């Protein structure tokens, strides 16, 4: 579905239900379509690295944390906006790959921390470079002003939706 198709859908609703305003479809429909298209455009490097959906999010959250690149499952859950169950599944996959480790917390023997291994750090550093280059290429046709405006509008819309 391209942008014109979203407009066609809105026009069809105008014709069939003139009592309704379908204009929100022109924004929300495009955002939904864009999210799918972005996933398709940004996913290949992660798939090539044999990472499942969300696996890079774990690696990136640990790497962004800085030395010693460790977080508890609860902290990962908060930073990734997913449940601790989802974190556990992802961490288990990454442990099998040797990209992260799980150890007893130094501060609380009952707690566990997830840490980035040297191989995980190397892979994350390589993939974030590729990922940010892909994102920059996608946005390259927008002016700096358009980017700032879009960023501001999306932040505002996000805050409205999260209420």
Structure tokens at 81: 């906006």
Helix (H) or strand (E) segment spanning residue 103: strand 100-104
Q: How far apart are CA 25 and CA 67, in angstroms?
A: 45
- The span from the CA of 53 to the CA of 44, in Å, is 11
Domain boundary assignment for the chain: 1-42, 52-163
Out of 1.10.10.10, 3.40.50.300, 3.30.160.20, 3.30.56.10, which CATH number does the structure's domain 52-163 have? 1.10.10.10
Give per-residue pLDDT as tens, 43-69: 999 999 999 889 999 999 999 999 999
Output the DSSP codes for 54-102: THHHHHHHHHHH-TT-EE-HHHHHHHHTS-HHHHHHHHHHHHHTTSEEE
pTM: 0.84
* pLDDT tens digits, 103-146: 877 766 667 899 999 999 999 999 999 999 999 999 999 999 99
* Percentage of residues in the chain having pLDDT higher than 90: 81
């Amino acid at each position: 579905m391209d942008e014109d198709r979203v407009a066609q859908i809105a026009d069809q609703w105008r014709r069939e239900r003139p009592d309704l305003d379908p204009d929100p479809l022109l924004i929300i429909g495009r955002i939904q379509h864009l999210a799918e298209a972005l996933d398709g455009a940004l996913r290949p490097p992660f798939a090539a690295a044999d990472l499942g959906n969300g696996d890079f999010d774990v690696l990136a959250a640990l790497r962004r944390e800085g030395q010693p690149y460790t977080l508890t499952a609860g902290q990962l859950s908060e930073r990734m906006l997913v449940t601790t169950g989802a974190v556990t599944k992802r961490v288990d996959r990454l442990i099998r790959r040797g990209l992260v480790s799980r150890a007893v917390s130094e501060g609380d023997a009952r707690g566990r921390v997830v840490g980035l291994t040297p191989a995980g750090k190397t892979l994350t550093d390589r993939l974030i470079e590729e990922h940010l280059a892909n994102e920059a290429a996608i946005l390259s046709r927008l002016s700096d002003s358009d980017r700032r405006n879009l960023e501001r509008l999306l932040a505002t819309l996000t805050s409205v939706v999260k209420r």
